[in-house]
Amino acid sequence: MARDLSEFEFDPAILDGFTLEQLKCDACSGYGNCGYRMYKIKDGKPVLICQQKKKKLAALRDKERAQSGETAE
Q: Give the residues lining the site for Zn ion (CB under 5 A).
A: 25, 28, 34, 50, 52
Work out how close the CB of 26 gets to Zn ion at its nearest, in angstroms, rounded to a whole number: 7
Closer of 58 and 66 to Zn ion (Cβ): 58
Work out how close the CB of 49 gets to Zn ion at its nearest, in angstroms, rounded to a whole number: 9
Work out how close the CB of 50 gets to Zn ion at its nearest, in angstroms, rounded to a whole number: 3
Closer of 41 and 52 to Zn ion (Cβ): 52
Q: Which candidate, 23, 20, 45, places its Cα nearest to that of 36?
A: 23
DSSP 9-65: B--GGGGTTS-HHHHB---TTSSS--S-EEEEEETTEEEEEEHHHHHHHHHHHHHHH
Closer of 12 and 30 to Zn ion (Cβ): 30
